[in-house]
Amino acid sequence: MTQPVVSIICTVYNKAPWIEKTLTSFLEQKTSFTFEVLVIDDASTDSSWELIQKFQFQNKKNIRIFSNSVNQGIARTWVEICSKANGKYIARCDGDDFWLDPYKLQKQVDLLESNPDSSWSNSDFDIYDDKGEFVSSAGFESGAIPFADTYEKMLATKGFTMASTWLVERDLLLEINEGLDLATADDTFNLQLELFQRTKLSYLPEATVAYVINTGSDSRPISFEHQRARFEKLLQTQKEFVRRYPENITENFVDILLERNNEFELALSCASAGLEGIGFESVKVYFSDDISGFSEENSKSFALKEEAALEIDLPVGCRRIRIDLSERPSFYDKVSVELSDGLVIEPSWTNGISYEDGFFFINSDPQLIYDLPSKEDSQVFKLYYKGSQINRVSSPDYLVKRLLENLMESQRELRLVEENFNKLETEIAIIKNSRRWKIPTAVINFFRRKK
């Protein structure tokens, strides 16, 4: 058998819903060279291993499968399976991600072959949810997920190069695996830090892989305590690499770390005040006449503040205004609209719930619509709003608002149950009125009457 150019390695632990799609995407690769597929199951408790065996039986060519009798964890499993690879390069893909581009391997091999100073390649990716539905494209190029393309960024931010897009020279990876901390919280974090020490990263700015956001995975623990344990282990890894490579603690690294710390402190201070969007979101006012609807062209924006009194000019012929209060679910202790003659008007529609003088918006994009008197054109109106301190425990009505928030969430869930129930009733009615239902029912009734 010809030695493969690439060994595709897939580690699996409880990935039954995705495994067939993942493995199929490997075999769909179109290359001018040979490749092999190595799959290892780390003692899954679901049907992953059975599905892997079935897939290997149906597609024997170039597929080798392995299983751990006892769960070893991702780092030990990774080191073990890499030692069995025969290719010049190793391509990694986790068991719940899958490849989108049938020329992924060919493009990345060509990229590395044309860059002799680089032994490591990655690419962009699209994002999918845990049901396999498309969410967004080009995670790196769009800026949705920051690309940690240097050692400093990786170490300071616990960053991301998207491991399921990797193509790395096998000998280099095996060398790094020898010193890998087998108790690490995230083997890819350690691997990336070492790879940056040894080689240049070649980036392919094309989405070749689907990154599945899967709650409960190693990178997205399902509980806060698991998340805390993960972060603490990652912190230990950061400290270890600071000591291991002190020459790489540059001004750039310090700048990144300080800026990141400042961003976190700012976010925490906003959250503690219960006004997370302050300074970052907008209050938007839309104007409409008797004929046209609301549009971006006929609107004004103002920075969202904790409290504001705005005087806003009305266009000639304006008969309705729509006020969008930020973009996120939120409380407002008071919202009022006053016309130039002193008349305070109430909203004709809102997607929020009135609460004393204010409003509570459980859904995103809070909106209020006001119909203006048609007797004459108003020249100006005053908008006053005051954001609520819902997340501030010291707020005197903290508990009331929290209870209201929970109540609204329960009502929303109840509406979903009612919708599903109504849908089920409709489906049952359709079945009962079908010939397949009526004929057996008639036969059963006939024999009942005979009794």
The angle subtended at Cα 86 by Cα 85 and Cα 90, nearest 5°, is 60
Residue 394: predicted pLDDT: 45
- Lookup result for tokens 């073990």: 80
Tell which residue, 51, 43, 46, has the closest CA to residue 80: 43
For residue 318 the two structure tokens come to: 């304006």
Mean of pLDDT values over 70-95? 96
Whether residue 121 is predicted with pLDDT greater than 50 in this model: the reply is yes
pLDDT band, very low/low/confident/very high, at 85 (cuts 50, 70, 90) = very high
Q: Of 43 and 411, which is predicted with more confidence?
A: 43
Residue 363: predicted pLDDT: 75
Mean of pLDDT values over 300-321? 88
pLDDT band, very low/low/confident/very high, at 439 (cuts 50, 70, 90) = low
Whether residue 224 is predicted with pLDDT greater than 70 in this model: the reply is no
The domain ranges of the chain are: 6-245, 282-387, 402-450
Most confident stretch, 48-57, 127-136, 349-358, 410-419 = 48-57
Mean of pLDDT values over 74-82? 96
Domain 282-387 part of CATH 2.60.120: yes
Residue 221: predicted pLDDT: 53
Mean of pLDDT values over 102-128? 97
DSSP string of 245-312? -GGG--HHHHHHHHHHHHHHHHHHHHHHHT-TTTTTSEEEEEEE-SSS---GGGEEEEE--SEEEEEE
Using CA atoms of 315, 316, 320, 326 in order, give the dihedral in degrees to the nearest 10.
Answer: 0
Residue 16: predicted pLDDT: 94
Mean of pLDDT values over 79-101? 96
CA distances from 337 to 35, 303, 314, 369, 380 (A): 68, 18, 13, 11, 11
Whether residue 29 is predicted with pLDDT greater than 50 in this model: the reply is yes
Q: Is the sign of the CA dihedral 110, 112, 116, 117 positive or negative?
A: positive
Backbone angles phi, psi at 41, to 5 degrees: -100, 130
The angle subtended at Cα 402 by Cα 398 and Cα 406, nearest 5°, is 175
Whether residue 437 is predicted with pLDDT greater than 60 in this model: the reply is no
HSE toward the beta carbon, residue 49, CA cutoff 13 A: 13
pLDDT band, very low/low/confident/very high, at 267 (cuts 50, 70, 90) = low
CATH hierarchy code of domain 6-245: 3.90.550.10
pTM given for the model: 0.62
Q: Of 43 and 354, which is predicted with more confidence?
A: 43
Residue 272: predicted pLDDT: 45
pLDDT band, very low/low/confident/very high, at 449 (cuts 50, 70, 90) = low
Residue 35: predicted pLDDT: 97
